[in-house]
Amino acid sequence: VRAATRDDLARFSDMPNKPTIKAIVAEIDGEIIGMGGLARVKGRWHAFCDLTPEARKFKVTIAKIGKRIMEDAKASGIRFVYAQPDLNEPNATAWLTRLGFEPDARSGGILYRWSAK
């Protein structure tokens, strides 16, 4: 587990026009198995987590990294972070709630918002 680099983002994501990110990667034998963090899109920070099936075995590590990312966001002066739970992921909403996210009524329940209280 380590801080992500631009090269990591290029290798792991096929997204064109990659945003500014603050992220953590997990790798095994040089192969990235997961990436999570914050992406700045149109002036707002958004949380993301992208895992391979291999990464899903490491639930405790995933939870610790999520907590660390949000603690780092607060320490960096980030006031708000948004996230959209993956509806195909049964525990996505519960995980966001444990990290301090709350449903954002302005989005019609689509987005969750974290606030550095």
* CA-to-CA separations, 83 to 7, 28, 36, 104, in angstroms, rounded: 24, 27, 12, 10
Mean pLDDT over 98-111 rounds to: 91
Instruction: Name the residue with higher pLDDT: 94 or 12.
Output: 94
C-alpha separations of 55 from 79, 85, 94, 98 in Å: 29, 18, 19, 20
Closest CA to 76 of 111, 26, 40: 40
pLDDT tens for each residue of 53-82: 898 888 888 889 999 999 999 999 999 999
pLDDT at 15: 67
> What is residue 19's predicted lDDT score, i.e. its pLDDT?
67
pLDDT at position 46: 94
At 11-40, the pLDDT tens digits run: 766 666 666 778 889 899 988 898 899 998
Confidence of residue 91 (pLDDT cuts 50, 70, 90): confident
- Note the pLDDT of residue 21: 79
